[in-house]
Every structure is written in structure tokens, then in C-alpha cells.
Amino acid sequence: MSDQQTAGQRPDEAQDDRQDGAAAAVGKFLEFTDGAVASYFESCVHCGECAEACHFYLSTGDPRYTPTYKLLPMVKAYRRARAPLRTVRDMFGLLPDDPTLDELREWGPLVYDSCTMCGRCTLVCPMGIDIAGTIARMREGYVAAGLAPEGLVHATEMVRRTTSPMGVTAKALRAQVEHQEKETGIPISLDEKGAEYMAILSSMEIMGYPEVIGAYARLFKAADISWTISTKAYEATNIGVQIGSGALAREIVQRVVDAAEELGVRHVISPECGHAYGALRWAGPNLIGRRYDFEVVHIIELIDRLRREGRLPIGNRDARRITLHDPCQIVRRGGLLKEPRRLLDAAASDFVEMDNAGIANLCCGGGGGVSANPRAAELQSRAFSCKLDQLNAIEGLQAVVVPCANCRSVFEDALDEREIDNFEIIGLGELVASTLDQDKAAQG
Amino acid sequence: MSFLQIVEGPLFWVAAAVFVLGALWRVGGLIAMKRRRDIAPPTGSAAAGFIRGNLRHFLPRAAFARRTWIHLVGGYGFHLGLFVLLLFAAPHVAFLDKRILGFSWPALPRWAFILVAEIAFAGLIILWVRRISEPVMRLISDADDHVGSWLTFLVMLSGCFALQQSHDALRATHMFLVDIWLLYFPFSRLMHAFTFVLSRGHTGATYGRRGITP
């Protein structure tokens, strides 16, 4: 019995399942191939420069991790069924076969384990191909065929049960909020109707870095803005975007939209979490089919805005030698390039940029669902070596600002694994909150 | 009708028609597929992003230039050389004047033709040798990549042989290869000469709305 054949199935039934799975994947590949994706497939000249931008290739030297190669099954489906002039190619027997389920399964590690959808390959591509965005669409096919990695499937099940991929319940949120109220001495409202801002957080922040909530309390008290957290929609993580399930991504966005509109807030704050920003700010309206009645503002954008308005007076700047990691979905694919730098210039007296800082910065290796995929653990750790090289190149480095909870967790795990403890990993909001001039803030 | 007359006459016009109609069909097909509508409130302009994306990818970013310099040198050497030869080689200027446009412009002197041809050949050879020797390019290359490279090489080579226009056989060989190249072009990856505008533009527009040009 083949490994694809389940117990009690006749061989012909197993064969049918394989064909159905492959057909489902191909159907999604074609559904998600619009003029943009088609132009990417048509213009790639197989120069391979994208490999030189990919941390998975750079850290392993394995040509299979060449970004454009990861798209091959989707390219084949396109050429066979959608490409202009395909009938002429067919006359010469030049059309490729549709990808089989076995081929798709073989490609799984390239689509999920070795792509964080960081988009760095686009920068080096002479054709400007958005490979990361195309991988995101390709994953829809993988989900349809039931080929998504187990770790991500488990996370989606957890989201369906608890709304959080880590199983964080509203009760756990309340406990963390109460703890932060005690820590800061500042009351934090939950489910407050009429608040101006509604904050959402990633599970990792709630459970791993709850001090983020305290930082919000200090910053927003200083700026004198009203804010709240909804116990119905506190989770920012959008596992649907990571695994490639538009339906689940829509459900998660809709939950936030419903809560925000029920509370009547004017702004929803996207947290220091890369893909959550892209999911809510850029994909969200397209997923639910309409614009929101509120503005989505990233926490970095908001803090920067408040500081420039003079509502967040900075006191003593952090004197440590600090550098900034650029989370891919916030900076390169999110457009927030200047904001974190303005904040660091204001809050740190020895802020130094790492090599390739800004739009060309290297990914941590754990984005795009890779860190939730145990199958990819070893590869992720190797990819982090590229990031570590950037950090090690900075003499006397004492702290790294990592404004993404997922990146931060990847950093901490990778540094622990390597027993490196000579610099601290911190969030940007916490850094700014810790440098607030409390006297001026109190005077308003 | 001699072979030269055929390849410069009816076959050329058929090939040119296939080239033009095929390229238009393929590009038109891509445009007709449309892009998914994006209703997220923009912070920048998609149209400006389309243009910025197209311009930005002409030049490499410093972060990658060291790793990709072979392609830069080979790619620009070949492409610029090819365009200069195509538009300024004396026989091409004369051919375009007499057969198609009815007007001409100054052509390259012979020494400049040879210099530019050498640069174009060197670029093309660098790119192809890299394609067959570098593990990444070996893995991702297919027959179309090699056929396109070799056809272009043969067109250029026969063009150099035919430069003096002293032997009809050499001129006919060049024109025959040009006809084959024109017939092959719209069905091949050579179409990147046109589709690059769309791929750069789509990415530029998508991220232009987000206020950034990756």
C-alpha cells in the first residue's frame, strides 16, 4: 500500500483521491493567477539572481531554495491552462503536464518551509517579480489539496477553537492585563464602547511579552488617548494568511472588524507583528469585500505620529548601542520604513544601522508561518545565521530592537540555542515607553 | 526568386507579421487577465508605483550588486550592445530606410560596430556560460532559455559575417536566421523584452499603494 493510500481504501480510490487533490490545487493555482501573476510567470528569464537574496539559499547553498524555482508547479499549471498562445505550443507538444499530487507534496518544503514570504527576492529581480506574493497564492492550492504542513494545520485548528493559534483565551488575556495594570499602576479598559482606539495583540505578545501591554498603557496615558482591548477580538495573528486559506483569513479579519465596529472605535492598532499588519491593513478590506469604518494604524506609525505631535515627550534616551531589525511585512512589504528610524533616533543615543538596513534587510527566517512549522525548524535555524552575521558585524552591540513579536521569538530562540547573551532583544514600543519623560507626560 | 529574395521578402514579412501579432496577442492576453482589485485605502499612488517599479529595477541595489555583478556586466553588455547594433549598424539603417520607414539616421562607423559587437557577444557568452555552469541557473534553466540564447547568438554571428554585404549567401543566411528568430520570439521567453514592463509595473503598483518600491 502506498503512503498516500489510507487504510481500507482500494488502490483505485487512492488514485482518485490523488487526482482530486492535485486537481483542487491546480484549480486554486489558476483561480489566483491574475494578470499580475501571469506577467511574473511570463517575464522570468531564469537568471537565478533571486537566490542571492534568499536567506535559505544563502545559508545552505542549495539551489532548490532559489525563490523562482519554488513556483514551478504553479507555473506549469498556468502554462498548461492559461498562458496566451498555449494552443500553438500545444501543437508542437510543448505544454507541460499538470503537477501531480506527488510532485506537489515534494514541493511542499519549498512552498512552506523555505519561504518566509519576506519579499527580499523582489528587490534583486530584474523583472521585479513579487515571488513572495505569488507563494502566498500558491499556498491556497496547497490548502485545497490538503498538503499544508501539520504544524500550521494544528495552529488553524487552535484558532477555530479559541481564536488564537497558541490557544490564548479571553480569561488568559484578562489575567495578563490585570498583571500589567498592577505593574504600571495604570488602569486598562476592556471592551470599552466609545474608546478612540482598539488594540489587538499577537498571542506571542500576550503570553510571551505581556510588558507590551504595559508599554501601551504608559504611552497612551502620556498621549492622553482613550483605548481599549476587545475580549471578543484581541488576537492579531492571522494564521489564514500564513497557511494560505483565504476563507480563514477572512473570518479572522471579520472578527476584528465586527468588534471594532461594535465598540465604535475610530482606529484599530495593529501590533508589533509583521504579517498581522499586512493581513489587517492591506489584505483585510479585500478579504471582506469592503473598506472598514475605522482606520488601521500600526503601533509604530501611531507612536511616531504622537511623538511628532509632541504628545510623547522623550526624556533620557537609551544610551546603549542599539540596532534595528526591519520586520519584512512591516517595512519592505508594509511601507513603514522611516517611522521606526525616527523613533529610534529620538529614543536611543547610539542607534546604529546594520548592514543592508531598511528595505533590503534580511528576514529572521521564521516569518510566513515557518516558525509555526516544526518540520522547518532546522532550516529556520540555519537561515537565522544570516541575521546573526549582520548583528555580529556591529561592534559593541548591546540591544536589538525587533518590532515584531514573531521575529522577536525567533531571535530569542536562535540566540538561546547558540548560547549568545551579549545583547538584549526588545520591542520598539517598550523602548519608547521606557524613555518617556514622565514629568512632562504627567503635565500633558 | 532567389533564396535571398525569399528571406528578405515574403518570409521576412510573414515572420515580421507573426512577431508583431504574436507579441501583441501575448501581451494583450496578459493585460486582459486584469489584476485583482485592491480596495485597501492607499497611502501612495499605484500609477506612480508602476512607473517607479519599472525604473527602479534598471539599476541594482547596492546590497546585491556585489553578488550579482556578473549578470550586471553580462546583461547590460549584451542588451545595450544588441540594441545599438539593431538600430545603428549600417546595413540595418539602410534596410529600415529602404524597406520599412523611408528615412534614415547616422550609422555606426565600422570600428564602432566591431567594438559594440564584441561587447554584445561577450555579454551573451557570459550569460550563457553562467547558465550552463552555475548550479542555480543550471537547475532552473529549460530548453527555451538555451534555444533563445543560441538563436540570438547565431543571428548576431551571421550578421557580423554579412556586414560587408559582399556575399549574398552570407546576407541570406543572416536574414534567414532573423526570420526564424522573429517567428520564435512571441512563443518564447524572449518575450521578456516586452513583459518586463508589466511584471515590474504590477509589483510597483501593488507596493506603490503602500508607499514603497521594492
Spell out which residues of chain B touch residue A38, defining contact as CB-CB under 8 Å: 29-30, 33
pLDDT tens digits along A89-147: 999 999 999 999 999 999 999 999 999 999 999 999 999 999 999 999 999 999 999 99
Question: For position A266, what pLDDT does the model report?
Answer: 98
Q: What are the tens digits of pLDDT across the range B40-62?
A: 999 999 999 999 999 999 998 98
* Backbone phi, psi, residue A190, to 5°: -115, 140
Angle between helices A150-162 and A246-263 (to 10 degrees): 30
Enter the CATH code of domain A152-307. 3.40.50.1860
Tell me the one-letter amino acid at A231. T
Got the DSSP string for chain B? --HHHHHHTHHHHHHHHHHHHHHHHHHHHHHHT------SPPSS-HHHHHHHHHHHTTS--HHHHTTSHHHHHHHHHHHHHHHHHHHHSHHHHHHIIIIIIS---PPPPHHHHHHHHHHHHHHHHHHHHHHHHSHHHHHH--HHHHHHHHHHHHHHHHHHHTTT---HHHHHHHHHHHHHHHHHGGGSGGGHHHHHHHHHHHHHHHHHTTT---
* Nearest residue on chain B to A360, alpha-carbon basis: B63
Name every chain B residue with its beta carbon within 8 A of the beta carbon of A46. 131, 137, 140-142, 145, 189
Alpha-carbon gap: B159 to the closest alpha carbon of chain A (Å): 25
- Cα–Cα distance measured from residue A234 to residue A255, given in angstroms and rounded to the nearest whole number: 9
In the three-class reduction of DSSP (H, G, I as helix; E, B as strand; rest coil), residue A322 is classed as: strand
Joined grid coordinates for residue A231 = 475580549
A394 inside 8 A of chain B by CB: no
The per-residue pLDDT for range A343-382, each reduced to its tens digit, is 999 999 999 999 999 999 999 999 999 999 999 999 999 9
**What are the boundaries of each domain within chain A?**
11-147, 152-307, 311-440
| pLDDT at residue A438, as a whole number | 73
Task: Compute φ and ψ for A348, nearest 5 degrees.
Answer: -130, 140
Contact A242, A372 (CB under 8 A): yes
Domain ranges of chain B: 3-208
Q: Does A393 touch chain B (CB under 8 A)?
A: no
pLDDT at site B165: 66
B212: nearest CB among A49, A85, A359: A359
Whether the Cβ atoms of residue A98 and residue A16 lie closer than 8 Å to each other: no
Residue A339: closest CA among A319, A317, A324, A349:
A324
Mean pLDDT confidence for B108-118 = 95
Asked if pLDDT for residue A8 goes beyond 60, the answer is: no
Cβ contact A51–B31 (<8 Å): no
Report the largest interatomic distance among the alpha carbons of chain A, rounded to a whole angstrom: 79
Asked if the C-beta of A290 comes within 8 angstroms of chain B's C-beta atoms, the answer is: yes
Whether residue A225 has pLDDT greater than 90? yes
Which whole number is the average pLDDT over A407-422?
Answer: 96
**Cβ count near A75 (within 10 Å):** 23
pLDDT for A5? 46
**From CA A357, how far away is CA A362, in angstroms rounded?**
8
Contact A49, A124 (CB under 8 A): yes
Query: Does the domain formed by A11-147 have CATH 3.40.50?
Result: no
Place of cell 543566411: B173
Phi, psi for residue B71 in degrees, rounded to 5: -65, -35
Cα A111 to chain centroid, rounded? 15
Confidence tier at A13 by pLDDT (50, 70, 90): low
Q: Give the tens place of pLDDT for each residue, A256-312.
A: 999 999 999 999 999 999 999 999 999 999 999 999 999 999 999 999 999 999 999
Query: So what's the ipTM on this one?
Result: 0.96
CATH architecture of B3-208: Up-down Bundle (1.20)
Query: In this predicted model, what pLDDT tens digit does every residue of A66-86 receive, in sequence order?
Result: 999 999 999 999 999 999 999
Question: In the prediction, which pLDDT does B66 show?
Answer: 85
Window A:298-337, CB contacts with B under 8 Å: 332-335, 337
Lowest model confidence (mean pLDDT) among A438-442, B105-109, B135-139: A438-442
Mean residue pLDDT across chain A:
94
